[in-house]
Amino acid sequence: MVALLTACSTPTLPSNVDRPVTHASKPAPNAPLPQLTQSRKQKENKAGANASGFMLLSGPQMAYGSRLALIENARQSLDLQYYAIHADASTERLMRAIADAARRGVRVRILLDDFHGTGRNALVMRMAFVPNVQMRMFNPLPGDRENPVSRMWHAATDFQRAQQRMHNKLFLADNVMGVMGGRNLGDSYFGNAESNFIDADVLIAGPLVQDLSRSFDEYWNNERAYPVQSLIEKKELDRMRAEIAKRDAQSDASDGGRAVNAESQGMASPAPESRRATAARPQPPDGEPRPGDKDAISTEQRAQVWDMKALDLKKAPLIWANAVMLADKPGKIPAVDAEGKSDPMTAQPSTLTSDQPVKTLRGTAANDSLPGATPTSSSSTPSPTQSDDSVVDGLISLIGYVQKDLLVVSPYFVPGERMMAVFKAAVDRGVRVRILTNSLASNDAPVAHIGYARYRKQLLKNGVELYELVSDPSNLRAAFGMGSTGNATQQAKRVMLHSKMLVLDGKLTVIGSMNLDQRSKLQNTEIAVLVRSDRLSAETVRLIEPGLILGSWHVVLENGDLLWKPPQNSDLKEETTDPDTSLPLRMMLQIIAPLVPDSVL
């Protein structure tokens, strides 16, 4: 009762917040990253002046190493935009490296969705107090960050705003190189936990990064972004850190005495520290995603993080191609009033953004059309127009141009009526449509599976091919090169899909933060890049297809009923119900399914 009363009396969000407007700087020609980008573009590029370089990051070590490389080579700026940054071993090293970069004069801006900014993960906010680092929280919820009842109260009393989150993921260096895709920052995204995500992102070099920076600036300078200092004081974060370290020490003592270094939970203290392989006990990530890890981070996990090497950007194989960025407007999320309540009247249409109206691929000639379009000498390249409401809507429109083959990877897949119609129309005109998503067993959010399951039979009747990820790592074998998880996960207990990609007619690759579900369409803000390249598309297909064959259940209809066919060369058997799941879980989802609309899944 005391906790509830405290929650109800918690002050609302601050008003008259000072948000100095800043923007991405023009790349300095003498800095290492601009020099490297320009040099490689001159030597390797055959796609035109506006082309950018792309490298698909096919595993967690490569994904981690690319970010380390960007930090180490940055001289002007580092801009990070994320839905979740978890306070664990992997992120600890990244934040310490970023603090080192700030000390050598790099301007750092970190924009983080507020939803996970509670408990141990709130310690990431200490970065805001490192010199030359600025940090803002997007769409914050009022309430005590240590009191879950308080946060739940404010989420319940403004449910709509609590549901709408900034889901974008960007890691940009010197406005000339960056990494984007579906991966948040944390152990489970870098193959360093008991439960790990098969994820994918892409390294980008060249002019497209400036488009990504413009999107970052639009969010950074938005009224929904609150400087950390306006939400919490450093002394409060220091007190929280001390309390968490004390609880960890007590828990470690009861479990056999593994020591906990209190400062190791500081997420980049201003002074460098020794790299002691001490154990820590972050709580499992909350919300999306939720791996379910309950054990402490091991000495081996922390050691693996420090053993990871930065990617050699000089040798990274880049594919030069024309591309376009699609990004929701921050106004997709309503602003808040003086009492911290959402104001739906302030919501703006979520148009697609770029430095130019989105009519053609960046640098694409008028006669170089998208898949399925018939080029003419007077027509421009068909693409999503600004009349579409969101990134997901734009991609749905784009599917209408596919002529032969569509490959979709979406961990949360809730098609809805419009998407269902688009997929059916594609199959009817002869397109092979293959969709890979999570099985119920591999889904970290079982409730989200409801929205997919209610469309599953009709998708199969319409001629769509469905594949669901096998959750047991021992049955993944060599599948999913993009999901190789490194040394620490040889004993992993669970693998979950988190990649978000599309390949259209083997010509156009889409990588981004969006799921093909109603939450990404209606609630969250998202970002994606569309790359026109036969080479990149072929490389992406080569990474995905073995996973369909060797690492996924093939769902089919047999006599009107669902049948799960096991991966090739596995010891699994055919199943007639969701594999590797319990009867109580399946029954519970069936009971609550009528109560859960697609719009919140």
List, for residues 338-367, the tens digit of each pLDDT value.
555 666 545 554 444 433 333 334 333 333
- What's the pTM value of the predicted model, to 2 decimals? 0.87
Helix (H, G, I), strand (E, B) or coil at 528: strand
pLDDT score of 252: 60
Q: What is the pLDDT of residue 257?
A: 44
∠ Cα 388 392 398 (to 5°)? 70
Asked whether the beta carbons of 424 and 490 are under 8 A apart, the reply is: no
Residue 273 pLDDT: 36
Cα dihedral: 216, 220, 221, 222 (round 10): 100
**What DSSP line would sit under 12-68, residue for residue?**
---SS-------PPPPPTTSHHHHHHHHHHHHH--S-TT-EEEEEE-SHHHHHHHHH
Q: Check residue 245 and give its pLDDT.
A: 78
Angle 332-440-568 (CA atoms, 0-180°, nearest 5)? 120
Under a CB-based contact definition with an 8 Å cutoff, are residues 322 and 509 in contact? no
Quick check: 169 and 81 in contact, CB under 8 A?
yes
Angle between helices 60-73 and 89-103 (to 10 degrees): 20
The CA distance from 424 to 363, in Å, is 32
- Buried/exposed 178-200: b ≥16 CB within 10 Å, e otherwise: bbbbbbbbbbbbbbbbbbbbbbb
Residue with tokens 């970023």: 98
Per-residue model confidence (pLDDT) at position 8: 52
Identify the three-state secondary structure at position 435.
Answer: strand
Return d(Cα 432, Cα 405) in angstroms, integer.
5
Nearest to 65 by CA among 244, 400, 306: 306
Beta strand ranges found along 410-516 (DSSP E)? 432-438, 465-469, 494-497, 501-504, 508-512
Residue type, 552: S
pLDDT along the chain (601 residues), means of 10: 51 85 94 97 95 94 96 98 94 96 98 89 93 96 73 68 89 98 94 90 97 98 95 88 76 50 46 34 37 54 87 97 97 72 54 37 38 32 49 96 97 95 98 98 92 96 97 72 50 86 98 95 95 98 93 96 95 96 94 88 78
Is the preceding peptide bond at 207 cis, omega within 30 degrees of 0? no
Q: Taking the mean position of all CA atoms in its chain, how far away is CA 246? A: 32
